[in-house]
Amino acid sequence: MIEGIIVKGVGGFYYVKTDEDIIECRARGIFREENLTPLIGDRVLIRISSEDNTGYIEKILPRKTQMIRPPVANVTQVIIVMSIKKPNINPWLLDKFIVMAEREKLNILICINKLDLDSDKGQELIDMYKDIGYKVIGTSAKTELGIDELRESLNNNISVFAGPSGVGKSSLLNSINKDFELKTGDVSSKTRRGKHTTRHVELLEFDKTAYVLDTPGFGSLYLNFIEDEIELRDYFIEIKRYGVGCRFISCLHENEPDCSVKKQVELGNIHESRYNSYLDFLQEIRKNRRY
């Protein structure tokens, strides 16, 4: 049997990239019995028929991670893209994407794009999130600033881009590799096009150790997957860090006495906008639970 990775799935067929080739495969019926669906990103063992060079997926190797939207296995890294302008940077939204990615326990790379439009403001934000402890790259798909660094970050990862519409996710992918040729443009023209073409999620191979999903992750940003509000503390890494010093183990860092997090906000060691995002998401989780 040969090992490969599923890079695409269309209508019951799976396209498995091996060292030499891309093989069109079907899944063994046994997976259905086991209620197991092969996913894009799955490492699989296949048997190839010598007659027509199509194959059967015989075994799915253990998954490292499993993303729900879009359904992809073994994603290791999320590249969260925000633009400094057009659309304007929205730290609250950035924090939300970070929470989604932290929850999935994925490596996070923050990419502040369109730096050509306002590099001062961009740098401010880059410094802020670096200070928190994140890996941040400032980029411009227009001037190719930061593209080499972004390309390098793909090595040894299955990456997925995430971020709001229009920030330049497709443009960045195209700058990384001209062969990708993803459609870019303003939102309205893309929506029109989208109505007539069925989109399939596909893993783009950048090189043997670097795959990128052609479809953005985390389309829905509802926090309803968080069942217990106490979870949220762990998805803000600096709040988690400073929270160790709170008087109460169960401190939610709102109005509890001797809260180390509140103190660090006052001292300026936790950014106010991050703390505000935290409080806001906490309310959202509570509201969800009431329904």
Ligand X SMILES: Nc1nc2c(ncn2[C@@H]2O[C@H](COP(=O)(O)OP(=O)(O)OP(=O)(O)O)[C@@H](O)[C@H]2O)c(=O)[nH]1
**DSSP letters spanning 263-276:** HHHHHTSS-HHHHH
Q: Which of residues 215-234 bind ligand X (CB under 6 A)?
A: 216
The answer to the question of residue 159 lying near ligand X (CB under 6 A) is no
Q: Which of residues 160-189 bind Zn ion (CB under 5 A)?
A: none
Q: Which of residues 71-130 bind ligand X (CB under 6 A)?
A: 113-114, 116-117
From the list ligand X, Zn ion, none, partner contacted by residue 253 (C-beta under 5 to 8 A by kind)? Zn ion
Identify the burial level of 45 via C-beta atoms within 10 angstroms of its C-beta, where 0-12 means exposed, 13-18 middle and 19 or more buried: middle
Cβ(217)–Cβ(267) below 8 Å: no
Cβ(272)–Cβ(265) below 8 Å: yes
Cβ(74)–Cβ(104) below 8 Å: no
Residue of minimal Cβ distance to ligand X: 168
Lay out the site mask for Zn ion across 230-269 (x = CB under 5 A, - = otherwise): ----------------x----x-x-----x-x--------
Rounded least distance, CB 172 to ligand X, Å: 7
From the list Zn ion, ligand X, none, partner contacted by residue 167 (C-beta under 5 to 8 A by kind)? ligand X
Question: How far apart are alpha carbons 5 and 45 in whole angstroms?
Answer: 9
The answer to the question of residue 171 lying near ligand X (CB under 6 A) is yes
SS3 21: coil
C-beta of 34 vs 144, nearer to ligand X: 144
**Letter for the amino acid at 273?**
S
From the list Zn ion, ligand X, none, partner contacted by residue 162 (C-beta under 5 to 8 A by kind)? none
C-beta of 206 vs 278, nearer to Zn ion: 278
Cβ(25)–Cβ(60) below 8 Å: no
Q: Who contacts 197 (Cβ-Cβ below 8 Å, separation ≥6)?
A: none
The site for Zn ion (CB under 5 A) is made up of 246, 251, 253, 259, 261
The site for ligand X (CB under 6 A) is made up of 113-114, 116-117, 140-142, 165-171, 184-187, 190, 216
